[in-house]
Amino acid sequence: MFLAFTLRVARLGHQSFWYDEGQSYYFAHQDSLGAMLDVISDSDHPPLYFIILYLWMSVAGRSEFALRFTALFWSVLLVPLVYLLGRRAFGPGEGMVAALLMAISPFHVWYAQEARMYTLATFLSLLSSYLLLLALQERQSSLWPAYTLAALAAPYAHLYACFILLFQGLFVLLWAWRSRPRVPFLRAWLLSQVGIGLGFLPWVGIVLREYASNATYWPGILDLKRFLLDTVVAFSAGLTLPFDRAGWTATAFLLALGVGCASLAFRQSEPRHRRQGFSLALLYLMVPTLAALVISYHHPKYAPRYLLLVTPAYYLLAAKGLATLRAHRRWTGLAVILFTVIVVGAVQSLYNCYFVEEYARDDFRTVLSYVESNAWEDDAIIIVGGHAYPILDYYNRLGLAAYPIPPRLVASVDEPVNRQLVAETLNEIVAHHRRVWLILWQERLADPTRLVLNELVANTLRLGVGAEFHGPTLLLFSLEDRPHFSVEPAVQHPVAVDFADNMQLVGYELTKGQWLRDRQQRELAAAQVEAETPAFAPGETIYLALYWRTRGAVEGDYTAFTHLLAQDGTFYGGWDSKLGGEFYPSSQWPAGDTLREEYPLVVSPEAPPGRYQIEVGLYLPTTMERLPVLDEKGQPVEDRVLLREVQVE
């Protein structure tokens, strides 16, 4: 425990809070428990950890060290608890090795230093599993109330603990099938399940509502290979080791785990309690992992931390493998090698965790410290996405006016910012402030077309920021000229071209040497700007931006093509780009919205002098079929638009 505590308390407050921790602070910083529960019920979190944090903050304060200590506390307690489960399931030697693996685990050290609920949920899951095994093997009815309380508390810490209850139920059924227990023991277990169900009932409606409406990540299909690879590497080497080095540690863990499983599965001479322990550990590891895979498959929001709950089983089975190898003289050397690889990987990963900025959490503290040192009294701060507002609230010690865009705590990819919201917010800021700081973090979730940034760059003077930061982007803009932001974009060259499937091209920009917004920025800075010219040299870039609008719901996810064609139709350059990119495809665009997309069209070095046409259109990448252009009557007439001529000299 001393080793575990030392590794977890080292530099506990050194790194900045990041988004998740800011959210923890925001929830726990409410005026009362009732107000906190109201706020949490509108999120996708259960309340137990935040209740503990709320009570802890009233005693320990609000520093990074104090808030993170709540995670450290439960993480340290995991070490003796995994020893107890390992001793009962396999033996004292295996329990000691599992405890050591848990103590030095970079994955556990990382989340012991994060003010979140993961270590609490892992502790409660492990405690309930230990009490369950104890109650079954010792047949002590007095243990069932303690098990019920621990098992009920676990999903109130993290919803993935419901998968722990699923594995425990399967384990009891397997145990009952093999052991033929007396009716009172089965009755006690059934009563405990009823108690757990009734105890969690008040939160079930909130869980179902959030599951049905949650849009904090883009829809898609989970990459199974990436899911397994990321999970195994994180369990084995943490999050702070290069993949090539982490691969060695993960391989050592998997070999040890494989030996542990094989020794228990194929040796019929193993004592009965060890076979029961093997069943428990294997179900503990596999059932929640498979459940997480299923629930994330069509909604691929997944991170290995969600399965921190099952790591005790991972370390127990690996410990069993190492102990089995060590017990056979001819394999002792292999056990030493595997253990050495694991320890060396842990040391390297922990060093990176403590000292290497590349692996540190996104540094909001330094960003806000820079703002604090350079802000004017009436400065404002915009943060995009607005779901990161809690971390801004934590570090905004000057109390500068803050404008989250959009103004909601839970990100929703189904409701990106629109021009009306951006224009209204920016005009309000202009009315009250002379400068505005812009913080961009995970802005693709909230503003996939970068409306806020584009509007500020195009209409205000960008001032210098004399530092770079790990994670968030910080920019500063002057509002001294009192610009006005319009809901309708100011299009350089308006056009009106209707396509099928409710798509419409409403305008374009065409500039030389830089994008139009950057050119406008130079004009705002009173720099000398060359007059616009449609003449380009071979190898030069035509900076073309197209404005697309939806007339209604769009079915397809289209890609736009831009081609540079000679008079005889010969191709001399092109740029294809999926509308909205991977994060915001056209099928998700709201009706009536206008989006600006950029196409850097490079003139081929072999292009001879002459007049060229810019050809524009849309197609479905799955079929390569072009989307028809419609006439005034809505009839297909063409599959492209000849946008304009340019001169190549």
Q: How do 610-620 and 559-566 pair as beta strands?
A: antiparallel
Eight-state DSSP code of residue 589? P
The residue written with tokens 């060396």 in the block is 344
For residue 113, which of 253, 249, 12, 231 has the smallest C-alpha distance? 12
The secondary element (H helix, E strand) that includes residue 648 is strand 641-648
| Phi, psi values for residue 600, rounded to 5° | -75, 100
State the pLDDT at residue 7: 98
Distance set, CA 329 to CA 252, 335, 337, 446, 594 (Å): 19, 10, 14, 59, 72
Q: Up-side HSE of residue 641: CA atoms within 13 Å toward CB?
A: 25
Residue 478 burial by Cβ neighbours in a 10 Å radius (0-12, 13-18, 19+): middle
Q: In the structure, how many helices (H) and strands (E) does the chain have?
A: 22, 17
Distance set, CA 317 to CA 46, 97, 256, 321, 327 (Å): 30, 10, 8, 6, 15
Q: Which residues have CB under 8 Å from 424's CB, separation 6+?
A: none
Distance CA 152, CA 185 (A): 19
Q: Is 560 helix (H, G, I), strand (E, B) or coil?
A: strand
| Phi, psi values for residue 8, rounded to 5° | -85, -30
State the pLDDT at residue 44: 82
Distance CA 341, CA 49 (A): 35
What the block records as the tokens of 172 is 């009891």
Distance CA 608, CA 605 (A): 8
Which positions of the chain have pLDDT values less than 70? Answer: 181, 267-270, 272-273, 522-533
State the pLDDT at residue 532: 56
State the pLDDT at residue 528: 46
Distance CA 558, CA 512 (A): 27
**173 dihedral zone (left: phi>0; alpha: psi -120 to 50; beta):** alpha
For residue 115, which of 65, 163, 160 has the smallest C-alpha distance? 65
State the pLDDT at residue 129: 97
The residue written with tokens 């369950």 in the block is 132
Q: Is 96 helix (H, G, I), strand (E, B) or coil?
A: helix
Q: What is the 3-state secondary structure (H, E, C) of 289-310?
A: HHHHHHHHCCCCCCCHHHHHHH
Distance CA 427, CA 429 (A): 5
What ranges do the domains of the chain cover? 2-359, 364-478, 493-648
For residue 247, which of 336, 345, 359 has the smallest C-alpha distance? 345
Integer-rounded Cα radius of gyration of the chain: 30
Q: Which CATH superfamily is domain 493-648 in?
A: abc- transporter (atp binding component) like domain (2.70.50.60)
Distance CA 113, CA 106 (A): 11
Distance CA 570, CA 548 (A): 26
**Residues 118 and 308: beta-carbon distance below 8 Å:** yes
Distance CA 424, CA 485 (A): 8
Q: Which residues have CB under 8 Å from 92's CB, separation 6+?
A: none
Segment 497-534, tens digit of pLDDT:
999 999 999 999 999 988 888 777 766 665 544 445 57
Q: Is 610 helix (H, G, I), strand (E, B) or coil?
A: strand
Distance CA 264, CA 279 (A): 9
What the block records as the tokens of 175 is 């145990």
For residue 123, which of 198, 169, 71 has the smallest C-alpha distance? 71
| Phi, psi values for residue 352, rounded to 5° | -65, -40
Angle, helices 64-89/92-104, rounded to nearest 10 degrees:
160
Count other C-beta atoms under 10 Å from residue 243's C-beta.
11
